[in-house]
Amino acid sequence: MKKQVVIVGGGFGGLRAARALKSAPVDVTLIDRRNHHIFQPLLYQVATGSLAAGEVAAPLRSIFRRQKNTRVLLGEVVDVDPAARKVVLADGAAFPYDALIVAAGTQSSYYGHEEWREWAPSLKSVEEALTIRHKILYAFEVAERLSDPARRRAWLTFVIVGAGPTGVELAGAIGEIARETLRNDFRSIHPEEARILLVDGAPRVLPPFPEDLSRKAAKTLSRLGVEMKTGVMVKQIDQQGLVLQPPNGAGTERVEARTVLWAGGVGVPAFAKLLAKRTNAATDRTGKLKVGADLTLPGHPDIFVIGDLATGADGKPFQGVAQVAMQQGTYAGKVIARRVRGKKPLPPFKYFDKGTMAVIGRASAVANVFGVHLAGLPAWLVWSLIHIMYLVQFQSRVVVFVKWAIQDLTFNRGSRLITGRASSDFNFDREVARATAAALAPAPQAETKAPASAGAVVDGADTVNVAGIHAKQ
């Protein structure tokens, strides 16, 4: 009977591990709670209307349809029994393994304030990306219907918490949406006057990048109208906005913003904590599991932990980028294949750092490639080429290339549909109806009233443009 290899997670690491086992005499079972692989680096483009979800995600079954030794199962792994060598799913099903590769990835962390998640969605899944797209586009629509300047301003204020690559990319994309894509689409508002605020507790944007690239990124963001507040902490987030505080704790600042997006940090999922408990594995302060030189847990040579869940035994963390997970997945798969074939073990894993990069806007990016610092168009060309080539499906590469070409020429974003609902949505049916009723109600005969205006304030609610149109001033 063939050896059984179970892979938990269909991200970059899980995919590379399964592919490395393609010709090995093993049976591979890949388990993921979603049926698709997400190309995480381009998920922000789904959130900002540049790409559709299907262009950055691919069904796992489609990816492995020709790899006959691999089966894909939809399910969530919730427990593991190292002694019996089996994993248990949420529905109670159990799957034995001879080798286990844990590539479950991380989840967004709100640092003990899970209540913020309702008002400030993160960007780790297709569902969250679509929620963010909804909130961004919906904010402009609501602002078009409001007459009160203060409330309109709150809807046209966008705050991104976290100035790492994801936060910078979101801020730059929203800047282009406001100043280019939607510039001529509205009649009552000026989208280009939207306020975009990028905040972080670090002293500069893109903290992991060299300082010169960080400065160049900040200059580009400024040209897109993005304000940057660094060295500040978030103390509160609610439906109306957020509260910021400097590190010295000297006072607070309230920012009225109906769209707050979270790019502030990640944490390990519950399964990683359980795995550490079941295996007595050491963890760092963030909960990542410390692995040996061959990416296995000490005392458990059959359990590999790769990607964002792993950290070096010396406590030195791996970079939280796709390249780490991809290289570790390939390495883990090769180790297992060599063991099954009785070959000599591979040397210890060593990450080959190809560099880091972040895109800011049209023909603008920063990149540290093999120690060479690039900015502007050259960095953007490198970023574009790499990301297109790493898309899993050929069809997606063609579609993304064509869409990018059109967008770069016209600034048009083809996926600007508002779908679903968000908890922060403005209740048009209720508020417009109430404002209309108030505006049309006859004035008492005994009193002299001023002429009615097109807007009305109803019980302190948002002032609604009941006529539907207010001329731009």
Residues classed as catalytic? 169
In the numeric block, which tokens belong to residue 124?
Answer: 């780790």
**CA 126 to chain centroid:** 9
What DSSP state is assigned to residue 442?
A: P
Local structure of residue 196 (DSSP, 8 states): E
Contacts of 250 (CB under 8 A, 6+ apart): none
> Nearest-CA neighbor of 254 among 237, 277, 271, 230?
237
Neighbours of 197 (CB within 10 A): 19
Question: Which residue carries 């963010």 as its tokens?
Answer: 132
Q: With contact defined as beta carbons under 8 Å apart, do 375 and 213 qualify?
A: yes
Query: 253 - beta bridge partners?
Result: 244
DSSP 424: T
Distance CA 386, CA 209 (A): 18
Cα separation of the two ends of the chain = 77
Looking up tokens 């007459």 gives 147
